Amino acid sequence: MNVLPAEEELMVKNAAREFLDAECPPGLARAMEQDERGYSVELWEQMASLGWFGISLPEAYGGGGLPVTYLGLILEECGRAIAPVPFHSTATAALAVVNNGSDEQKQTILPRVARGDLIMTWAVQEQDPRLRADAVQCRGEVDGDSLVINGIKHFVDNFSAAELVVMAVRTAEPTDESAGITLCIVPTNSAGITETRLTTLAKDSQSKIALENVRIPLSNVIGEISQGWPATSEMLDTGTALLCAQIIGAARKDAEMAIEYAKNRVAFGRPLAGFQSIQHLCADMIVAVDGAQLLTYEALWKLDAGLPYSVEVSQAKAFTNDKCQATVRSSQQIHGGIGFMMEFDLHLWYRRVTAWTMRLGTSFEHRARVARSLLAQPGRVRLGMNIEAVA
């Protein structure tokens, strides 16, 4: 038991911070809000050359073979720098291929991801945005050696930048044995896809995707037809843990900006930081982010250790949503009027953290899963015990 990051973990994290401090100023995120492509190609290529995209992919497929925790630490730093790159969606989709893809899928996809030659995303949510199998209504039908997809996917990150989307579709009605969901890989340039860009609070890239008779080969199915919900659920859990890392990185930076501002801004004859009301607000912000970070690290560690980690992911996301939102709001409070002026940078973090808290599961959804799993646990429960998630 030593919950502090190890020396090697800190080295990777610090190196990522140094690189991003130098290469990813807030102006880049600001510029990309207006950019048609929505991400910085130059930053993407630099990150690729540092090996970040493959860091936790298997060595056999060109990756670095490190635990997913390392990927989480880098994404935490990307969150801190609000780096405008489609990294999180690519990592989430690529790990779904690692965990459940065929060898052929791994061979064709993973080395390209590791090199930075392939941008990916994922699509599960629909008009009913809850992350559960019965909310997936987008239809897939087997036709010879093809899967034909009809329906609408909502809230898809980085769709226009991505080449492949890992998508959950319904191929059967649910039974006791199966949720009837198939997970598959869909090229974004497939005939029959219409993209509508959404305008988000984060002003990042999210789209609604209409699929009309989109035909993909059956070899693009991840795992078996209609048996894809566990793989989908695993993809969501991994993506959620990584999103938590990104949120806490951004929220901590946001809190630090408020602390710095409080030390310099003079009011009533002294710096704001000299007022106990401000000190206590700042203390609460940092304690909250610390808590979110510990929950997130535990989820990532359990994932890497091969232990059940879904409940830990839900714990982390519910707490991160509520506490990091409160943190960035408090930071706005400390900054006063200047904090909500367009020309000031603070809102770049506020708007992203806020939008991210609503993605990959609300606090209510995640707490419902925690309660469900906890109450179904046989015998007496105890904090810190391993608990199997209940779908």
Q: How far is the CB of 279 from another protein (least distance, A)?
A: 4
**Based on CB atoms, which residue is closest to another protein, 4 or 191?**
4
Of the two residues 218 and 368, which places its CB atom closer to another protein in the complex? 368
CB closer to another protein out of 66 and 147? 66
Residue 286 interacts with another protein (CB under 8 A): yes or no? yes
Q: Are 200 and 85 in contact (CB under 8 A)?
A: no
Which residues ranging from 242 to 261 are in contact with another protein (CB under 8 A)?
259
Q: Is 80 in the site for another protein (CB under 8 A)?
A: no
3-class DSSP state of 222: strand
264 interacts with another protein by CB under 8 A: no
Closest to another protein by CB, 60 vs 305, is 305
- Candidates 315, 325, 327, 330: give the one binding another protein (CB under 8 A): 315
- The angle formed by the CA atoms of residues 241, 247 and 249, to the nearest 5 degrees, is 105
361: left (phi over 0), alpha (psi -120 to 50) or beta: left
How far does Cα 186 stand from its chain's mean position? 20
- The yes or no reply on residue 370 touching another protein (CB under 8 A) is yes
Could you tell me which residues are beta bridge partners of residue 198? 206
Contacts 24+ apart (CB under 8 A), 306-313: 307/386, 308/386, 308/387, 308/388, 308/389, 309/237, 309/241, 310/233, 310/237, 310/369, 310/373, 310/389, 311/369, 311/370, 311/373, 311/374, 311/387, 311/388, 311/389, 313/237, 313/240, 313/241, 313/244, 313/366
Tell me if 301 contacts another protein by CB under 8 A: yes
**Does residue 207 interact with another protein by CB under 8 A?**
no
Residue 390 main-chain phi, psi, to 5 deg:
-110, 125
Q: Which stretch binds another protein (CB under 8 A): 82-90, 190-198, 268-276, 352-360?
A: 268-276
The 3-state DSSP class for residue 388 equals coil
H-run or E-run covering 173: none
Minimum gap (Å) between residue 307 Cβ and another protein: 8
Beta-carbon count within 10 A of 266 CB? 9
Which conformational region is residue 116 in: left (phi greater than 0), alpha (psi within -120 to 50 degrees), or beta?
A: left
User: What is the smallest separation between the CB atom of 238 and another protein, expressed in angstroms?
Assistant: 17
Distances (CA, A) of 236 to 133, 277, 329: 12, 39, 27
Q: Which one, 281 or 348, has the nearer CB to another protein?
A: 281
Q: Tell the smallest beta-carbon distance from residue 198 to another protein (Å).
A: 28
Q: Is 6 in the site for another protein (CB under 8 A)?
A: yes
Among the listed residues 187, 291, 308, 355, the single contact to another protein using CB under 8 A: 291
Euclidean distance between CA atoms 131 and 168, whole angstroms? 11
Stretch that binds another protein, among 103-111, 329-337, 338-346, 361-369 (CB under 8 A): 361-369
Residue in 16, 120, 133, 262 binding another protein, rule: CB under 8 A: 262
Q: Can residue 283 be called a binding residue for another protein (CB under 8 A)? A: yes
Binding site for another protein (CB under 8 A): 1-6, 9, 69, 259, 262-263, 271, 273-276, 279-280, 282-284, 286-287, 290-291, 294-295, 297-298, 301-302, 305, 315, 318-319, 364, 366-368, 370-372, 374-375, 377, 380-384
